[in-house]
């Protein structure tokens, strides 16, 4: 224990005080580490957004990959596609009941009216159920379309760090694509956003542990044939 007893014969009061001090120390340490992790997520999101804005200043990505799961992600992705003069769009994690038409019906009228939707411009992935599978779907799509080298991934800002960790963990040695990240901005200083951030720390640690335990012999995307790519067990989005 951190605070060890000072006396050979310790009174019950002193022993209780020492136990309480140890418990408080570990609680405060846990809160401090967790808080630093939250700040790291915020920092990474700001850094990646700025990096992407600089990389695509008067330039366009080859592929714009949108990770579904929270409000504003598809809208931001489509807005950026309009801004970048219509790069190829890949939306992963779409519910089977949706299509390009239904997706556009939920967007702001000015956006849907301005943006001409060509069926060849948008590809939809219906299989992915969590972030790991989103990443697998994007890498699989890129392997089938290697001409797309510069990839902009769009999600929520708090989600970017986890996507990056997963992507760096499972991409193969020949996946030499340039990845950039952009997120829907959240006000991190209201209670709703703080709860999301706290939950995201847990999800990031959970995903990292999942990837550490993932046997390298069965890691997806090591196969050249996308049909052989196994889908991992369900983990939190």
Summarize pLDDT for 32-83 with one digit per residue, the tens: 999 999 999 999 999 999 999 999 998 999 999 999 988 889 989 988 988 8
| pLDDT at 182 > cutoff 90 | yes
Q: Who wins on pLDDT, 124 or 214?
A: 124
pLDDT score recorded for residue 99: 82
Helix (H, G, I), strand (E, B) or coil at 66: strand
- DSSP for 139-200 reads HHHHHH-TT--EEEEEEEGGGHHHHHHHHHHH--TT---EEEEEEE---TTSHHHHHHHHHH
Its pTM stands at: 0.82
| pLDDT at 1 > cutoff 80 | no
pLDDT score recorded for residue 232: 40
Let me know: does 88 contact 62? Beta carbons within 8 Å.
Answer: yes
The whole-angstrom separation of Cα 36 and Cα 33 is 5
How large a percentage of the chain has pLDDT more than 90? 53
Summarize pLDDT for 221-232 with one digit per residue, the tens: 443 334 333 434
The whole-angstrom separation of Cα 104 and Cα 109 is 9
| pLDDT at 163 > cutoff 60 | yes
Dihedral of CA atoms 11, 12, 17, 22 in degrees, nearest 10, equals 100
């Amino acid at each position: 224990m951190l605070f060890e007893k000072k006396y050979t014969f310790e009174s019950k009061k002193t022993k209780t005080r020492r136990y309480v001090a140890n418990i408080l120390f570990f609680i405060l340490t846990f809160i401090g580490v967790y808080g630093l992790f939250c700040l790291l997520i915020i920092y990474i999101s700001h850094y990646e957004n700025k990096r992407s804005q600089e990389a695509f200043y008067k330039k366009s990505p080859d592929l714009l990959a949108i990770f579904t799961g929270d409000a504003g992600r598809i809208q931001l992705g489509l807005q950026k596609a309009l801004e970048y003069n219509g790069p190829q769009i890949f939306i992963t994690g779409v519910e089977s009941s949706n299509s390009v038409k239904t997706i556009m019906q939920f967007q702001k009228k000015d956006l849907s009216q301005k943006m001409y939707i060509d069926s060849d411009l948008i590809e939809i992935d219906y299989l992915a159920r969590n972030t790991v599978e989103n990443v697998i779907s994007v890498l699989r799509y890129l392997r089938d379309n290697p001409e797309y080298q510069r990839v902009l991934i769009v999600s929520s800002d708090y989600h970017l760090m986890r996507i990056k960790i997963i992507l760096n963990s499972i991409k193969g040695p020949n996946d030499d694509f340039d990845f950039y990240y952009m997120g829907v901005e959240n006000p991190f200083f209201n209670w709703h956003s703080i709860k999301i951030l706290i939950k995201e720390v847990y999800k990031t640690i959970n995903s990292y542990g999942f990837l550490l335990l993932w046997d390298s012999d069965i890691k997806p995307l090591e196969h050249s044939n996308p049909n052989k790519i196994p889908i991992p067990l369900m983990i939190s989005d």
